[in-house]
């Protein structure tokens, strides 16, 4: 864990501190929406109840019976023992919402209680957060993303919960996205938004699609039609150790591995791909390779890319003990990079990449089956799968997307198309008056570093800045 570059308050950026202070200084913000920008983590006032954040409380306690919503209502628990020695009866136990995102669980309903208490020990588990106390306020910080998700204000020696993050605060661009993607020409208007986005997003799960539909895409999930592609692409889940984030900021730690050798060459002649996963954001890059030995030069270039584009240096490199990585020892040594490798390979030691490979291949399979493309398109499928996965919310990131954590702005979805769809690309240089004005092609992905589309016209791959999409 890095000790350099310490921030003013552990894990809290300057922008968050300013936001925190402005919230504390604002008196009348109850019903007015806060003009947060997309790049700043947003908090909204906690409505209705006055919750006291109590490090001494062994349970959450509320006096409001009508707010008990859990399944354990009408329990027969022993009474609560008060500091005065009196006892107070518990009439119910259940879950209660703090806002539209966060819930407290196992809240004891004690009608005779004069205050509502949040137990710090339970809160940290319910919200997967830490609670840090300061002289005049305390903050709740998400353990996975290190983002501030709540704020408490000290009053008369007690800390009251005053603000919490809402899912809509972090990004505010759903209307812009809606306008963008509906403006694109399409010939097929009969596909429901649910099916269209399920296909565009690599047959993502209903949970992720529902989240994206509400947060970014601005439509309601409607269709429950069984998808014929998903069962072909998804393998049964194998046991895997839980994923944890071991870094405090992007590029503090990257995970790396090589997938392959695959029995069929890709269109470009590749048999492998190199995978790099940033630990903090889970943003993923893959590079197709004909030979494993290409990994060395690709990694050197990646280190330069990070330095130039993100103005930071990769601090720790984690991989298995493959010869391609061991041969970079002197490079790591010269650049001050900590090289963590497993002496004896076990998947668990490199679990982040193993898990990512599984996800990439699952999405890639779905793309290939959906497009009815032959096996040699596996490289395009894997590249497109990675492009999509970087824009999908992840449970390990508290349902943020890798893209927004890396770039501090919401990902764009307006450019996404259904992999394998028929596309009519404009022929910008017709050689004579009677030559065709468009080229019928297949859409096969998003070229890196260009605002364009990768198309296949049955004889060659080329890129195109726009095309008419004639499929779903």
Smallest distance from Zn ion to CB 250, Å: 31
Give the binding range for Zn ion (CB under 5 A) out of 7-15, 197-205, 325-333, 345-353.
197-205
Q: How far is the CB of 281 from Zn ion (least distance, A)?
A: 26
Residue whose CB is nearest to Zn ion in the complex, by number: 227
Nearest approach, Cβ of residue 227 and Zn ion (Å) = 3
- If the CB atoms of residues 387 and 400 are measured against Zn ion, the closer one turns out to be 387
Binding flag, residue 151, Zn ion (CB under 5 A): no
| Part of the chain binding Zn ion (CB under 5 A), chosen from 31-39, 42-50, 112-120, 200-208 | 200-208
Residue found under tokens 């080229």: 439
Give Dmax (Cα) for the chain: 96
Site size toward Zn ion (CB under 5 A) is 4
DSSP percent split of the chain into helix, strand, coil, nearest 5: 30, 25, 50
DSSP 400: B
Residue 122 in tokens: 């339970």
Residue placing its CB nearer to Zn ion in the complex, 45 or 203: 203
Is 314:249 a contact under the CB 8 Å cutoff?
A: no
Cα distance between residue 386 and residue 323, in whole Å: 25
To 5 degrees, how large is the angle CA 309–CA 310–CA 316?
Answer: 120
Q: Kindly tell me which of 229 and 276 has the beta carbon lying closer to Zn ion.
A: 229
57, 104 contact by CB (below 8 A): no
Pairing between β-strand 137-142 and β-strand 338-341 as defined by DSSP bridges: unpaired
* Residue whose CB is less far from Zn ion, 131 or 418: 418
C-beta separation of 297 from 266 below 8 A: no
Least distance CB 228 / Zn ion (angstroms): 8
Q: Which stretch binds Zn ion (CB under 5 A): 27-35, 66-74, 202-210, 435-443?
A: 202-210
Least Cβ distance, residue 201 to Zn ion (angstroms) = 10
Please say which residue, 203 or 356, places its beta carbon nearer to Zn ion.
Answer: 203
* Chosen residue from 60, 93, 147, 203 binding Zn ion by CB under 5 A: 203
Query: Which is closer to Zn ion, CB of 169 or CB of 471?
Result: 471
Taking residues 75 to 94 in sequence order and writing x for each that binds Zn ion by CB under 5 A, - otherwise, the string is --------------------
Question: Shortest distance, CB of residue 198 to Zn ion, whole angstroms?
Answer: 5
- Tell me whether residue 182 or residue 205 sits nearer to Zn ion (CB atom): 205
Is the preceding omega at residue 74 within 30 degrees of 0, hence cis?
A: no
Question: Mutual orientation of helices 378-389 and 351-371 as an angle, nearest 10°?
Answer: 120
Continuous segment of H or E residues that includes residue 302 = helix 294-310
Q: Which stretch binds Zn ion (CB under 5 A): 51-59, 196-204, 250-258, 284-292?
A: 196-204
**Alpha helices in 111-157, H assignment, sequence order:** 120-126
User: How does 404-435 read in b/e, with b if 16+ C-beta sit within 10 Å?
Assistant: bbbbeebbbbeebbbbbbbbbbeeeeeeeeee
Nearer to Zn ion, 211 or 251 (CB): 211
With contacts defined by CB under 5 A, name the span among 18-26, 140-148, 195-203, 318-326 that binds Zn ion.
Answer: 195-203
- By CB under 5 A, what part of segment 215-234 binds Zn ion? 227, 229-230
Enumerate helices (H) and strands (E) in the chain, giving the number of each.
12, 22
> CB of residue 226 vs Zn ion: minimum separation in angstroms?
9
The SS3 assignment for 343 reads: coil
Asked if 411 contacts 397 with a C-beta cutoff of 8 angstroms, the reply is no
Nearer to Zn ion (CB atom), residue 151 or residue 421: 421
Q: By the criterion CB under 5 A, which residues form the site for Zn ion?
A: 203, 227, 229-230
């Amino acid at each position: 864990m890095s000790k350099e570059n310490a921030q003013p308050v552990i894990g809290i950026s300057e922008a968050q501190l300013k936001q925190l202070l402005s919230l504390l200084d604002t008196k009348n913000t109850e019903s007015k929406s806060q003009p947060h920008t997309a790049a700043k983590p947003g908090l909204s006032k906690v409505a209705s109840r006055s919750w006291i954040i109590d490090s001494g409380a062994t349970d959450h306690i509320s006096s409001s019976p009508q707010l008990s919503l859990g399944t354990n209502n009408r329990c027969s628990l022993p009474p609560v023992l008060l500091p005065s020695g009196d006892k107070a009866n518990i009439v119910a136990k259940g879950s209660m919402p703090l806002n539209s995102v966060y819930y407290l669980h196992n809240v004891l309903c004690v009608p005779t209680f004069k205050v509502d208490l949040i137990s710090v020990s339970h809160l940290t588990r319910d919200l997967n957060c830490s609670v840090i106390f300061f002289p005049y306020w305390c903050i709740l910080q998400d353990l996975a993303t290190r983002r501030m998700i709540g704020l408490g204000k000290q009053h008369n020696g007690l800390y009251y919960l005053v603000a919490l993050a809402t899912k809509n605060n972090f990004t505010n661009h759903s209307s812009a996205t809606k306008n963008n993607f509906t403006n694109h020409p399409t010939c097929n208007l009969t596909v429901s938004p649910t099916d269209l986005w399920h296909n565009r997003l690599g047959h993502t799960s209903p949970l992720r699609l529902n989240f994206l539909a509400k947060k970014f895409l601005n439509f309601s999930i409607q269709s429950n039609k069984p998808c014929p592609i998903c069962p072909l692409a998804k393998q049964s889940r194998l046991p895997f150790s839980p994923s944890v984030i071991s870094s405090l900021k992007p590029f503090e730690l990257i995970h790396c591995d090589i997938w392959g050798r695959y029995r069929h060459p890709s269109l470009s002649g590749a048999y492998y791909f190199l995978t790099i996963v940033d630990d903090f954001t889970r943003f993923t890059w893959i590079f197709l390779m004909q030979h494993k030995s290409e990994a060395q030069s690709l990694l050197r270039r990646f280190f330069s890319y990070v330095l130039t584009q993100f103005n930071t240096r990769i601090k720790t490199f984690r991989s298995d003990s493959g010869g391609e990585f061991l041969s970079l020892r002197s490079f790591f040594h010269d650049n001050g990079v900590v090289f963590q490798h497993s002496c004896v390979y076990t998947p668990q030691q490199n679990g982040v990449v193993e898990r990512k490979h599984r996800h990439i291949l699952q999405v890639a399979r779905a793309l290939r089956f959906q497009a009815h493309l032959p096996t040699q398109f596996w490289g395009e499928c894997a590249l497109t799968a990675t492009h999509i996965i970087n824009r999908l919310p992840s449970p390990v990131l508290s349902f943020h997307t890798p893209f927004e954590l890396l770039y501090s702005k919401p990902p764009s979805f307006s450019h996404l198309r259904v992999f394998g769809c028929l596309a009519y690309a404009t022929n910008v240089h017709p050689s004579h008056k009677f030559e065709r004005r468009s080229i019928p092609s297949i859409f096969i992905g998003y070229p890196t570093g260009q605002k364009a589309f990768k198309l296949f016209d049955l004889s060659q791959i080329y890129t195109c800045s726009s095309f008419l999409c004639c499929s779903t």
